[in-house]
Amino acid sequence: MKIEPHYQGPTVHVLDASRAVGVAGNLLSDTLRDGFVADTREEYRDVREQRSRNKPQERRQSIEDARRNRLAIDWSGVAPPVPCSTGLTVLDDYPLDDLVPRIDWTPFFQTWELSGHYPAILTDPTLGAAATNLFRDAQALLDRIVRERLLRARGVLGVFRANSVGDDIELYADEQRTEHLAVIRTLRQQMLKPPGRPNLALADFVAPRATGVADYVGAFAVTAGHGLDELASSFEAAQDDYNAILAKALADRLAEAFAERLHERVRREYWGYAPDEALDNAALIHEKYQGIRPAPGYPACPDHTEKRTLFDLLRAETNAGITLTESFAMLPTASVSGWYFWHPESQYFGVGKVERDQVEEYARRKGMDVPTMERWLAPNLNYER
């Protein structure tokens, strides 16, 4: 749909790897290649035209109109919870045994293309046997990882003085809130909403500076991936690809568990805005707690470049050993980062498609040229670049 019109060479989609053999054979054939490529391009052109005709046109609005429909929180009389500390808290070599109880196992099985929810999948009539064997192997390797400290978990968190100004969130270095520490840029939904439903931006969940309310925003970066390359390489050297993949899947689960456990401790201890919270793991997985922890690059804040702001605030490279690639992916890959919002009305949402007017303004706010900004927001553009 998107690659083929812009790539000079042939672009061919296959449903799974087994179908690639015939495609590769056609592409390598002196007699079959040209006809195969021409037929494929014609087929894809027809698909694009058909989908374009059938695609419903979602009604949009200007960014000014969307802002007039922002979430209206009554901040009068609100006293945001004051964190125990507005500095950084570094968690070096965090105990893995504290993370194991917070593992969400359902995505683990999905990694292995076993679709179902844990623990019900273990007794599923069709998938139960395979899921049980996989879970047994995972538990054995996880026990060894924890016992022999084969992976190292590191993290850093911070809670910062903050207020919103329009769709931006200003972070301050001093109690008077005159010295800027950083600015978080947020995007706003532009789809037309039914009456009573606001067009959300993350800035809505932070007290506007004009209210005089002293609010706060948190940030975190955690990883359970230190040592993973060595562990996976040791399995691969022994031609044990199964356990190499298993180790990577477990590191991902531990990193997500670290994010879950740290958020729990932030709510109860470090920030302490929900000190009496008592939720079991199922309730945590279903996000029954107060507040959210959205991550740059995900639906509520789809701009990956905002991760640089987060990492600079936390000094994540030094404090957690996590680095960013040129495309803002995190290394080690078993890492999680994001923001903390405390307000009870904060919620997860998707920005969805955005219009040119917001993109152009957003680029100005970030000090970037529009084509570069469009490249980073390409999946969210509601227009052709």
What is the secondary structure of 46-94 as a DSSP string?
A: HHHHHHHHHS----B--HHHHHHT------TT--PPPPS-SSEEEEEEE
Q: How much of the chain exceeds pLDDT 90, in percent?
A: 84
Beta carbons within 10 angstroms of residue 216's beta carbon? 23
What is the average pLDDT across 195-199?
95
pLDDT of 49 reads 82
pLDDT band for 243, please (50, 70, 90 cuts): very high
Residue 209 DSSP label: G
pLDDT of 53 reads 72
pLDDT of 22 reads 86
CATH T-level topology, domain 63-94+152-226+247-352: Cobalamin-dependent Methionine Synthase; domain 1 (3.10.196)
Pick 51 or 147 by higher pLDDT: 147
pLDDT of 91 reads 97
pLDDT of 56 reads 55
Pick 115 or 262 by higher pLDDT: 262
Secondary structure of the chain: what % helix, strand, coil (to 5)? Answer: 45, 15, 40
pLDDT of 377 reads 97
What is the pTM for the complete model shown?
Answer: 0.87
Contact 151, 227 (CB under 8 A): yes
353, two tokens: 């498609």
What is the average pLDDT across 54-62?
71
Pick 113 or 64 by higher pLDDT: 64
Per-residue pLDDT at 58 exceeds 80: no
CA-to-CA dists, residue 24 to 9, 13, 266, angstroms: 13, 12, 52
Give Dmax (Cα) for the chain: 77
Which tens digits make up the pLDDT trace of 295-327? Answer: 999 999 999 999 999 999 999 999 999 999 999
Beta carbons within 10 angstroms of residue 253's beta carbon? 23
Beta bridge partners of 188: none
pLDDT of 369 reads 97
Query: Dihedrals φ, ψ of 177, to 5°?
Result: 60, 40
Per-residue pLDDT at 178 exceeds 80: yes
Burial class (CB in 10 A: 0-12, 13-18, 19+), 275: exposed
Q: Report the SS3 class of residue 259.
A: helix
Beta carbons within 10 angstroms of residue 42's beta carbon? 10
Beta carbons within 10 angstroms of residue 15's beta carbon? 7
What is the average pLDDT across 263-269?
96
The chain-wide mean pLDDT, for the chain, equals 94
pLDDT band for 5, please (50, 70, 90 cuts): confident
pLDDT of 19 reads 78
pLDDT of 55 reads 61
Per-residue pLDDT at 80 exceeds 70: yes
Closest Cα to residue 263, out of 232, 285, 240?
285
What is the average pLDDT across 79-98?
94
Q: Report the SS3 class of residue 164.
A: strand
Closest Cα to residue 89, out of 306, 272, 303?
272
